[in-house]
Every structure is written in structure tokens, then in C-alpha cells.
């Protein structure tokens, strides 16, 4: 019972970490990366689909994303979808290639983004601590029902605490890297 609890708790904590990584990927630094457009939905014959399903998304250079729709009639729709995605991007069409230049970040905007990043990190830490609380609650229940001994419960709680510490440290590391990224001009 205890090894299963540890395993599921670790998997859930890893999911929290992955979710944070995904959220941090959405926070824009000054550099271009194709993952920025992953969540943009394009109207393709009446149904919203991810941009990667209707166009080839590449890096033209370090500050420009190139989007080349596979169908000529999709150019306008893709450009509109990128503009409406609320990412602060202003795409420009050149023939059938849509160029998406990354605007420079002002110092003030960088500070705002760092606040957003810290908030995301705090949410991830709270999620990880809640998982610890749930696991410890399950252990206490098992102890009451005499499914585990007090020693085993104590050891398992220590183990869960070590897991929690490891994942919280991982979150801190990710936040530090992202802050460094944001402050790099």
C-alpha cells in the first residue's frame, strides 16, 4: 500500500511540474520559439484546430516565427488567429508566409512577467503541498484502520516529505531559470 501511495503521489507531483513547465513556456521572453503558438486555435472549415494542424511553424531567425499554411485560403485565417490569440504579437503576411516578429520587452513588462512567473510557481508549490497533505491523510487513515504500523507510517511520511522537498526545489529552479531568461536583453 505504501509503495503505491508513494508512486501515485510522485506521479501527481510530476504532473504539477509538467503543468508549470507548460505554463512557463507560454510566458514570452524576447526570443522567438515555436511553442509560443501551440495553443493558438485556427478556424478550419468551421471547427477550431491547433495551428500546427493547418500550417508549418518554423523559426525564421531568433526573433521571428514563420508560419506557412498548407492551403492558400488559410493565410488570412491563420494571421487573424495569431493576432486574436492575445499574445501581443503582430503577424505580417509576405505572399503565403506569415512572419511573426517578437516585439522587444520593456523593463516594466519584464517585471510584470516575472510577477506572473512567480505566481505560477507559487500555484505549483501549493498543488505539490496539497498532494503531500492528501498522501499523509491517506497514511493516517491506514494507521487508524491498522493497515500499517506506526513506524511504517512515520517512514512513509518522511519519504513523502522528501518527495515534496525535491519537487519544490525543482519548481524554484525552473522559476530562477525563467527569471534569468526574462531579464536577459
Domain ranges of the chain: 2-26+106-183, 34-101
Question: SS3 sequence, the chain?
Answer: CHHHHHHHHHHHHHHHHHHHHHHHHHCCCCCCCHHHHCCCEEEECCEEEEHHHCEEEEEEECCEEEEEECCHHHHHHHHHHHHHCCCCCCCEEECCEEEEECCCCCHHHHHHHHHHHHHHHHHHHHHHHHHHHHHHHHHHHHHHCCCCCHHHHHHHHHHHHHHHHHHHHHHHHHHHHHHHHHHCC
Q: Which CATH number fits domain 34-101: 3.30.1360.40, 3.40.50.12780, 3.30.365.10, 1.25.40.340?
A: 3.30.1360.40
pTM of the full structure? 0.65
Q: For 9-60, how does the pLDDT look when each residue is reduced to its tens digit (9 = 90+)?
A: 999 999 999 988 888 877 766 667 777 777 788 888 888 888 888 888 888 8
CATH class of the domain defined by 2-26+106-183 = mainly alpha
**Do the domains 2-26+106-183 and 34-101 sit in the same CATH topology, yes or no?**
no
User: What digits encode the pLDDT tens for the residues 144-157?
Assistant: 888 888 898 899 99
Amino acid at each position: 500500500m505504501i509503495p503505491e501511495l508513494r508512486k501515485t503521489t510522485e506521479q501527481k507531483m510530476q504532473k504539477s511540474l509538467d503543468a508549470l513547465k507548460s505554463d512557463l513556456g507560454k510566458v514570452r521572453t524576447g526570443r522567438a520559439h515555436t511553442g509560443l503558438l501551440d495553443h493558438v486555435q485556427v478556424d478550419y472549415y468551421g471547427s477550431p484546430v491547433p495551428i500546427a494542424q493547418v500550417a508549418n511553424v518554423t523559426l525564421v531567425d531568433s526573433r521571428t516565427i514563420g508560419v506557412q499554411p498548407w492551403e492558400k485560403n488559410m493565410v488570412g485565417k491563420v494571421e487573424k488567429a495569431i493576432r486574436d490569440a492575445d499574445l501581443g504579437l503582430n503577424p505580417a503576411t509576405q505572399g503565403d508566409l506569415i512572419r511573426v516578429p517578437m516585439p522587444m520587452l520593456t523593463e516594466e513588462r519584464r517585471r510584470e512577467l516575472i510577477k506572473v512567473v512567480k505566481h505560477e510557481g507559487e500555484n505549483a508549490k501549493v498543488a505539490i503541498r496539497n498532494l503531500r497533505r492528501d498522501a499523509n491523510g491517506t497514511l493516517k487513515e491506514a494507521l487508524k484502520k491498522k493497515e500499517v504500523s506506526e513506524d511504517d507510517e512515520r517512514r512513509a511520511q518522511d519519504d513523502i516529505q522528501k518527495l515534496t522537498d525535491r519537487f519544490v526545489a525543482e519548481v524554484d529552479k525552473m522559476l530562477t531559470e525563467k527569471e534569468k531568461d526574462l531579464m536577459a536583453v
